């Protein structure tokens, strides 16, 4: 149990060698949820072994779905769906539990789900999801945090999102696949995971186009009845995390099984700081200097700089020459890690949505606690560069999104191990 464990990092080792990136957490979760729309066997390959994936598997099994998981291959049999209600305990464990709403509404015309849990980095309201379902014809009731939806008929509609929310875009796409007529999602999220979901659903028999742009068109079909196998795209945030880990240690690392296009915003900022990066078809070579320049970052929806890389870049910039400014535009609570970074010697001042980072020559190891998934990654990255030993508590957050991160960093030369408390 990862909540009984901690990571111990002894800094100062330059990372060298090569590492392979795993399948994307933020892709596999909606793919698994969307399997509820089908009644035929689905094989998923490149599935990462993450706590959130285990939780989604448990959630689907609680609804009657049969799942076999061996290595990185998962076989899903959604033919015997038995329940339309997700238990509150499962919903609370993971934000992405809300992704079962769209497929249940699409296939069965109803669902009952509690408000989801996950990282505490902002309100992440459900309004956009529920407005989309309402536009398709669902009647929504919210009874003390339990959301029920019912629709005798789902009818395609024009839906304009107030914000290009990834989760809302995915949920509406999944609900609309089996609706009558055509649904248009305007101001849709453009993330690679949206394209991945479109490709997966189209393989199953859906008719969707436009993913990757701000307008997605879904022409409803009667059923999804294709048996398919599908390889999951690689994780761009894991890629970025390894890039910052290599960069902060002045390392030379090949990062394999990547899609360079998906990390262009990260690559651009690291290059601006003075890091040398070479891109090939499915891999990146990174060679970092011993000191680097300060840069300014503004988090934005894709293809802008990802909010999920903001904490890792903050600790990297804590060792830059000069002053960097980060503006967080996506989540209002995404500076909870700042206090822990300061304990390591980082000079960070937060004013509203803005963090001002004044570069220091050295970080110092101490005991710190991960407040959320990406904050945990930032503390690991900082520990790799810090003097002495860093002890990271709260690594259950880290295990939600990184598969045995310490083992893969060790293969690059890092001195890092998992210990029982």
Three-state SS string over the chain comes to CHHHEEEEEECCCCCEEEEECCECHHHHHHHHHHHHHECCCEEEECCCCCHHHHHHHHHHHHCCCEEEEECCEEEEECCCCCCCEECHHHHHHCHHHHHHHHHHHHHHCEEEEECCCCCCCCCCCCHHHHHHHHHCCCEEEEECCEEEEECCCCECCEEECCCCCHHHHHHHHHHHCCCECEEEEECCCCCHHHHHHHHHHHHHCCEEECECECEEEEECCCCECCCEEEECCECHHHHHHHHHHHHHCCCEEEEECCCHHHHHHHHHHHHHHCCEEEECCCEEEEECCCCCECCCEEECCCCCECHHHHHHHHHHHCCCECEEEEECCCCCCCCCCHHHHHHCCCEEEEECCEEEEECCCCCECCEEECCCHHHHHHHHHHHHHCECEEEEECCCCHHHCCCCHHHHHHCCCCEEEEEEC
Active site residue 119: yes
Q: Which member of 119, 243, 313, 344 is catalytic? A: 119
Which residues are identified as catalytic? 119
């Amino acid at each position: 149990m990862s909540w009984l464990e901690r990571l111990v990092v002894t800094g100062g080792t330059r990372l060298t060698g090569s590492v392979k990136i795993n399948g994307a957490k933020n892709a596999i979760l909606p793919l698994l949820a969307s399997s509820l729309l089908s009644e035929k066997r689905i094989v998923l390959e490149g599935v990462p072994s993450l706590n959130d994936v285990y939780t989604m598997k448990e959630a689907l099994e609680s609804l009657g779905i049969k799942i076999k998981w061996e290595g990185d291959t998962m076989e899903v049999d959604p033919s015997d769906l038995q329940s339309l209600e997700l238990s509150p305990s499962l919903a609370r464990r993971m934000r992405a539990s809300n992704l079962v709403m769209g497929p249940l509404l699409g296939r069965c015309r109803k669902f009952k789900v509690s408000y989801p849990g996950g990282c505490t980095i902002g309100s992440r309201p459900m309004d956009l999801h529920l407005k989309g379902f309402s536009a398709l014809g669902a009647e929504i009731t919210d009874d003390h945090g339990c959301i029920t939806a019912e629709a005798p008929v789902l009818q395609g509609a024009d839906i304009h999102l107030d914000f290009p929310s990834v989760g809302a875009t995915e949920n509406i796409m999944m609900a609309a696949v089996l609706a009558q007529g055509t649904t248009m999602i305007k101001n849709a999220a453009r993330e690679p995971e949206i394209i991945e979901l479109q490709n997966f659903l189209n393989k199953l028999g859906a008719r969707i186009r436009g993913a990757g742009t701000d307008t997605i068109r879904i022409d409803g079909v009667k059923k999804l009845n294709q048996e398919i196998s599908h390889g999951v795209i690689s994780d761009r945030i894991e890629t970025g995390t390894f890039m910052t880990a290599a960069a902060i240690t002045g390392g030379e690392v090949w990062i394999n099984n990547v899609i360079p296009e998906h990390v262009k915003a990260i690559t651009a900022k690291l290059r601006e700081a003075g890091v040398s990066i070479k891109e090939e078809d499915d891999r990146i070579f990174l060679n970092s200097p011993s000191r680097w320049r300060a840069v300014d970052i503004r988090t934005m929806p894709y293809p802008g700089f990802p909010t999920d890389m903001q904490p890792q870049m903050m600790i990297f910039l804590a060792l830059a020459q000069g002053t960097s400014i980060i503006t967080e535009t996506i989540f209002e609570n995404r500076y909870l890690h700042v206090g822990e970074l300061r304990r390591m010697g980082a000079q960070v001042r937060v004013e509203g949505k803005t963090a001002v980072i004044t570069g220091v020559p050295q970080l110092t190891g101490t005991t710190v606690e991960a407040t959320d998934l990406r904050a945990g990654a930032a503390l690991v990255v900082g520990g790799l560069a810090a003097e002495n030993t860093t002890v990271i508590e709260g690594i259950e957050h880290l295990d939600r999104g990184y598969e045995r991160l310490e083992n893969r960093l060790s293969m690059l030369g890092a001195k890092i191990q998992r210990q029982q408390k």
